[in-house]
Amino acid sequence: MKSHITYSVFFMTFCLSIISCAGSHVSGTEPEEMTHEEHIKAAEKEEQLADREEEKYNPSETAFKHREPMPIGVESSESPSVAHAHTIPAGTYNPTENFKKMAELHKEHAKIHEQAARELEKFKSDACDGIPVKDRKHCPLLGPVARVENISSGARLYLHKGADLKNILALSRCHYAFGLNYGHDNMPFCPLYLKELDISGSEEQNYLEITSRNDEVVKEIQSRSATRVSE
């Protein structure tokens, strides 16, 4: 029977509600969309914007709202328009209320970025548990890869005989988490330094499989994996 070791490294998609608890996604707030540091900075910026909006809000300010009578009628091809005056009562309101609402929105955005940063940190902590800090930033696929087979969703990297698949999988998960936390600028050729990856392996056939549901990422996986082959 075929033995598989599968490590799924997708983040569980989470979405915090925005004021109304509608669950709508705010662009840039998913963990993988920014690094840990970028999420922290984005949260700080949102807090600053919230403070600015709150400064404009005056809870005691009021203004008079004047509503004109609204004609309500029914028209048809057989009869002329029939309109009846319908008056909506006038009243007072706080003209700075929108500033308060905007401040609340910015605060919620800040919370989402802070949560994303925590998710990234936890993911890295879990994935890199037991792996020395000095080994986390180095691509573990330099050396053990004998050949690469492209598949529809990514690539299979067959390892040299004697390579420790379990250890390479663990290092691969950690390296992927490291890249999500700190960015991908310094490792342009490692197939693990990409987003939206799934990593699995077969002990029986001695391969590491890197896949994605994103077509553009699949192309990059295949291109980068080809550079990892060694004699």
pLDDT in tens, 33-75: 777 677 788 888 889 998 999 999 998 888 887 665 555 444 4
**What distance in Å separates the CA atoms of residue 33 and residue 44, rounded to the nearest whole number?**
17
pTM of the shown model: 0.58
Q: With pLDDT > 70 as the criterion, what percentage of the chain qualifies? A: 71
**What distance in Å separates the CA atoms of residue 188 and residue 67, rounded to the nearest whole number?**
62
pLDDT in tens, 170-186: 999 888 888 877 765 66
Question: Is residue 166 pLDDT above 50, yes or no?
Answer: yes
Tokens read off for 34: 């920014």
What Å distances lie between residue 163 and 129, 145, 158, 159, 230, CA to CA? 21, 9, 10, 6, 13
Domain ranges of the chain: 4-11+133-228
Q: In this structure, which CATH number among 3.30.1360, 1.10.1240, 3.90.1200, 3.10.110 belongs to the domain 4-11+133-228? A: 3.30.1360
165-182 vs 97-127: helix axis angle to the nearest 10? 160
